[in-house]
Amino acid sequence: MRMKVKMHTMIKLPLDSSGLGILMLSDFEQTRTLGIPCDKPTYDFFFLHYSNYNELTSKAIPEVLWGILKERGLCNFEIDIKDNVDGEYVTDLVSLDTGSRYPMRVSDALLLAHIGELPIYIEENMMCPASGPEEFQINGLASILRLVESPLLKEMLPEALRIEDYELASAIRDELCARGEQLPKS
């Protein structure tokens, strides 16, 4: 069963080398949440939006393209987060006029939802009982890495080794192995 959710907060991961962040979704009663990992450029763009740096964001490509669609009356969309397959969220931009579905990265879809004020829907069974940023301090690095998609983990591993953060590298390796993922060659 699908449920409507909203962006709740953003959390900067304590991984200085990666710049990754977590976009926290919640239901409207704030009884259920889900952390969606995002890369540094997307996180930074969200940060600019939430900090009201309109002079920087108003001419960026997502806003310009959304403005063109809106001007042409082509703005009747929703975001549908359908599944998580091997650590990657299956997400579509859905045209409510035609039913057409356009696969997107989940973080990009959430950014578009923010820019266009689009509704976000997710399968109810993907949401967790409510928790907040405190959970990440309590449960540590392993719980954070569980939220990060496998391709991003594979990018982070060589970087953790390069900066000699062996605790991080070990945690990333353990998470990839727990998922049955092939480790990147270094």
146 in a domain, yes or no? yes
pLDDT at 53 exceeding the cut of 90: no
Range of the domain at 93: 2-129
| pLDDT score at 131 | 45
The confidence score (pLDDT) of residue 146 equals: 73
pLDDT: is 158 or 16 the higher one? 158
pLDDT for position 114: 92
**Banded model confidence at residue 14, pLDDT cuts 50, 70, 90:** low
Cα three-residue angle 35-149-28, rounded to 5 degrees: 20
149 and 100 within one domain: no
pLDDT-above-70 percentage for the chain: 86
Environment class of 118 (CB within 10 Å of its CB; exposed 0-12, middle 13-18, buried 19+): buried
Tell me the two tokens of residue 122: 């997710």
82-107 per-residue burial string, b: 16 or more CB within 10 A, e: under 16? bebeebebebbbbeeeeeeeeebebb
**pLDDT at residue 144 greater than cutoff 90:** no
Distance CA 77, CA 75 (A): 6
In a domain, residue 96? The reply is yes
pTM, two decimal places: 0.72
Query: Is 112 part of any domain?
Result: yes
Total domain count, the chain: 2
113 shares a domain with 72: yes
Residue 186 forms part of a structural domain:
no
Average pLDDT score over the chain: 82
Whether residue 86 is found in the same domain as residue 18: yes
**Highest-pLDDT range among 64-68, 146-150, 161-165:** 64-68
The verdict on 42 and 107 lying in the same domain is: yes
Same structural domain for residues 51 and 109? yes
- Per-residue pLDDT band at 154 (split at 50, 70, 90): confident
Write down the pLDDT at residue 129. Answer: 63
Same domain for 38 and 92:
yes
56 & 21 share domain: yes
Are 20 and 83 within one domain?
yes
| 120: its two tokens | 């976000």
Same domain, 154 and 116: no
Q: What is the pLDDT of residue 13?
A: 64
Could you give the CA distance from residue 2 to residue 85 in angstroms, rounded to a whole number?
17
Does a structural domain hold residue 134? no
Residues 72 and 30 in one domain: yes
